[in-house]
A and B are shown apart, each in its own frame.
Chain A
Amino acid sequence: MKMKNKRMQWDRATLSFISYFVLFVFGMACLLPFLIVLTSSFTSEKALLRNGYSLLPAELSVDAYKYVFTNPIRILQAYANTTLVTLIGTVLAVGIATMTGYVLARRDFKWHNGFSFFFFFTTLFSGGLVPWYLMCSSYLGFKDNYIARVLPLMFSVWNVILAKSYMKGIAFEIIESGKIDGANDLQIFAKLIFPLTTPLIATLTLFTALSYWNDWYYSMLFISKQPMQSLQYMLQQILASIQAMKQLAASGEMATVNAADIPSAGLKMAMTCVTVGPIILLYPFLQRYFIKGMTIGAVKG
């Protein structure tokens, strides 16, 4: 018996050790790249060119940030329009998703199954990218218009399904009591059901806001005017243009700019930090809601 106990303790210890080790390695693999980007953005260009990007800065410098902020207008514009688009889009998206989910969850509504399938079918089959693109650009005037950044992310069938199954979990008696009190269907939604869905609202808001904030695709497709482009798309454009500038300068085609004058290696990292910085700072506060959201989504059915 004693032998066996010892054995079990040994197994427990190895399992425990391996668990810590695995999570440590994977956690570091996820965290270190972010730290390397951060420290590289504070490293002098000379040191970067000599040693490459690394965790420990050989020579501290804020030159890259100075370069970024010599002309901050484009960054500020991108921040402003992305914040606004995210706010408006998220409010609309959450409003529509919960309202639609509520109607589909009303089992006393004769056509709730019919409409559910009407929405759900669009996740199974689509006309493809080309017809959708032609619809948006030729008929709906998406080109260089803010609706191109709000509308595509404003509605998602998955959010409706999530809302529907969440509201199905709310006792039907609440709706019936509302009816008896003479409230109409809209009042029942706004006054009785909506206040009971806080976890759902939080989840939908966070995920929708994140997809608006991280969007570059719809700017790439429809927006050619620089001041209207989203933050992430601006980053993509700037990273690409730094590369191009460096190549041009190196080939001597740009006589006025010296290749060594542009802190290109550091600049890329500084631009990246400027773009992700705020969201990473918010991240510790938001994280637990995301985890909750994931499990709300998982137990539906």
Chain B
Amino acid sequence: MINREKSVAPVSLRHESFLDTVRKSRLLLLMLVPAVLYVVIFNYLPMSGIVLSFKQFNYRDGIFGSPWNGLDNFRFLLLSGKLLSLTRATMLYNLGFIIVNTFLEVTIAVFINEIACKPFKKYFQSFIFLPYFISWVVAAAIVQAMFSYEYGAVTKIITLITGSAVNINTDASVWPALLIMLNSWKTVGYGSVIYLSAITSIDPGLYEAAELDGANKWQQIFHVTVPNLLPTIVIMTLLAVGRIFRGDFGMFYQLIGNNGVLLRETDILDTYIYRSMLGNSNLGMTAAAGFYQSVLCFVTIVAVNAVIKKTAPDYSLF
């Protein structure tokens, strides 16, 4: 996180001329060259490609030669209702992930902290981190092993109990819940570390005081641990909210792919933009959707930062 610290530089710095600084810091500037070049080429130069959003793109004329078409791309995306439903889906999925993951991460962290048996704690902590380290490609293979209609291990158990099971490859309605579950499966174990380290830094004196006041273990959790975790929870949630319009492309793409039946319930901005970039020839419209998402993300993160700046200035991003 960037903290613009109040200038601690010696007074002399302020009167340095441009050339003086270049001469004095030439080695430092030289060390910045690779990173600056990288960012210019891969981040700043492509920003000029935003003009595509306002053009009727054709490959013959290229990015800058193609004819302008004003706001037609945006108008079409909006009128078709596509943009709104994709935005809604992206936001709702992320909201689901944030709520469920935060709840589980805090719960798991609180309970891990209560476990006295060291080996048990060690082994099970390794188990819950495991899914974090695999790619979504492998995770998708595991999902098949568990949930595939013909052979899935979990499907078999569900069939035994209820007599029937859903086919996840054709039934779109199960996916919102399934995606939230899989997202938790992959990230909660690792995400709990941050809360666990916050718990260990709570002043033990607070627990002693609570115990003297007659608070039992459960009361200590609800009246000491959780209130002390609240700042961390709020900050982590706000940071996640700042990215609420940016979907997890890897997860959605590997689990759903191009399965048209499922896309009805599971298409998000990122997967839509990817598919239409490689699939159709209207690159201008795809760029417009991407630009729209970038602006949305920018506005959200700036707003979130403003909120953090008001409530907990130490944690603000910029």
A residues apposed to B, CB below 8 Å: 4, 7-8, 11-12, 15-16, 18-20, 22-24, 26-31, 33-34, 36-37, 40, 48-49, 51-55, 96, 99-100, 102-103, 106-111, 113, 115-120, 122, 124-136, 140, 151-152, 154-155, 157, 160-161, 165, 184-186, 189, 210, 214-217, 232-233, 235-236, 239, 265, 268-269, 271-272, 275-276, 279-280, 283-284, 287, 290-291, 294-295, 298-301
Nearest 4 A/B pairs, CB to CB:
A131-B49, A128-B290, A214-B135, A27-B124
Residues of A within 8 A of B138 (CB): 232, 235, 272, 275-276
- Other A-B contacts than A16-B116, A287-B126, 18 sampled, CB-CB below 8 A, are A22-B107, A22-B111, A23-B124, A30-B128, A52-B155, A53-B151, A96-B38, A99-B35, A109-B25, A115-B36, A122-B44, A128-B49, A128-B291, A132-B42, A134-B63, A232-B135, A232-B137, A283-B126
Is the CB–CB distance between B277 and A129 below 8 Å? yes
With both chains docked as a complex, state the minimum distance between the C-beta of B101 and any C-beta of chain A, in angstroms. 13
With both chains docked as a complex, state the minimum distance between the C-beta of A61 and any C-beta of chain B, in angstroms. 15
Binds A, one of B2-10, B80-88, B172-180: B2-10
Size range of the interface on B? 35 or more
Is the CB–CB distance between A30 and B28 below 8 Å? no
Binds A, one of B91-99, B214-222, B260-268: B214-222
Residues of A within 8 A of B277 (CB): 129-130, 133
Is the CB–CB distance between A130 and B290 below 8 Å? yes
With both chains docked as a complex, state the minimum distance between the C-beta of B283 and any C-beta of chain A, in angstroms. 6
Is the CB–CB distance between A54 and B153 below 8 Å? yes
Is the CB–CB distance between A295 and B142 below 8 Å? no
Which has the most chain A C-beta neighbours within 10 Å: B32, B39, B194?
A: B32
Summed over the interface, the residue pairs from A and B with CB atoms below 8 Å come to a total of 290
Within the assembled complex, what's the spacing in Å between the Cα atoms of A261 and B254? 27
Is the CB–CB distance between B298 and A125 below 8 Å? yes
Instruction: Please name 29 pairs of A and B residues whose Cβ atoms are closer than 8 Å in the assembled complex, sorted by A.
Output: A8-B216, A15-B218, A22-B107, A26-B124, A26-B189, A33-B146, A34-B142, A52-B155, A53-B145, A103-B32, A109-B28, A110-B9, A126-B43, A126-B47, A127-B294, A128-B49, A131-B46, A131-B48, A131-B290, A132-B46, A135-B42, A186-B31, A239-B141, A268-B144, A280-B130, A291-B129, A295-B193, A300-B1, A301-B314
Is the CB–CB distance between B156 and A127 below 8 Å? no
Given contacts A129-B274, A236-B137, contact A165 B111 (CB under 8 A): no
Which has the most chain B C-beta neighbours within 10 Å: A125, A130, A235, A276?
A: A130
Within the assembled complex, what's the spacing in Å between the Cα atoms of A77 and B156? 37
Residues of A within 8 A of B45 (CB): 135
Within the assembled complex, what's the spacing in Å between the Cα atoms of A34 and B133? 12
Is the CB–CB distance between B31 and A26 below 8 Å? no
Is the CB–CB distance between A30 and B217 below 8 Å? no
> Which partner residue on chain B sits nearest A187 by CB separation?
B27
8 Å CB contact of B141 from A12, A29, A124, A269: A269
Residues of A within 8 A of B114 (CB): 15-16, 19
Is the CB–CB distance between B156 and A52 below 8 Å? yes
> Which partner residue on chain A sits nearest B236 by CB separation?
A298
Within the assembled complex, what's the spacing in Å between the Cα atoms of A27 and B112? 11
Is the CB–CB distance between B108 and A26 below 8 Å? yes
Is the CB–CB distance between B111 and A23 below 8 Å? yes
8 Å CB contact of A129 from B115, B145, B254, B273: B273
